[in-house]
Amino acid sequence: MSYLFEKGLIFRENNEIIKCSQFGKLIIRLYLYPVSGVLIRSKLEHSEMHTYHDLIQEVYDILIAENKVKGRRMLEPILEWADEEAVDQILDRYHIMAGDLMSVKENLERIITFIRIIAEYLSTQGIDLQNDMIEIAEMTETLQRRIKYGIREELFDLVQRLENVARVRARIL
């Protein structure tokens, strides 16, 4: 309980009743471990995330902290996936299995969603963070699409609006 008090997830009202803070309620609604929520908030408040590469590095660090990945072995394959590299080439080059790549991809999408939601929350908490948090929230939307579909930004409309058009067909079009 001391951790929850220390990190501002709960507080004592009138030195008697223990209540959940707004941030604590957000973490509960996200079904996120308190440690992960606090880590994301800390990274958002203290790190310099100005590019997609910075953002994906931070997201990947969170996966490492959650023990979802071991080391940085899967980072380059994911970056190549988002840059439209052929899956077969990625698997051969890094000697990994498709399931491993997709598992990391799904975990990255999950963490990116949490970062966006927490950044949007933090953007309402103070003027000094507002612009940075809005910028990060916007970057997460783009990064999430790139990770989900394995495409660059110029293909977003084709892939999302046309049925049965994935990254290869979209690039051909």
Domain positions in the chain are: 53-172
- Residue 173, pLDDT score: 67
- Residue 172, pLDDT score: 67
Long-range CB contact pairs, 95-102, < 8 A, 24+: 100/74, 101/74, 101/77
CB 8 within 8 A of CB 23: yes
pTM of the model: 0.87
- Residue 34, pLDDT score: 94
Q: How many residues does the chain have?
A: 173
CATH C-level class of 53-172 = mainly alpha
DSSP codes, 151-167: --GGGHHHHHHSTT--H
- Residue 22, pLDDT score: 94
Average pLDDT, the chain: 88
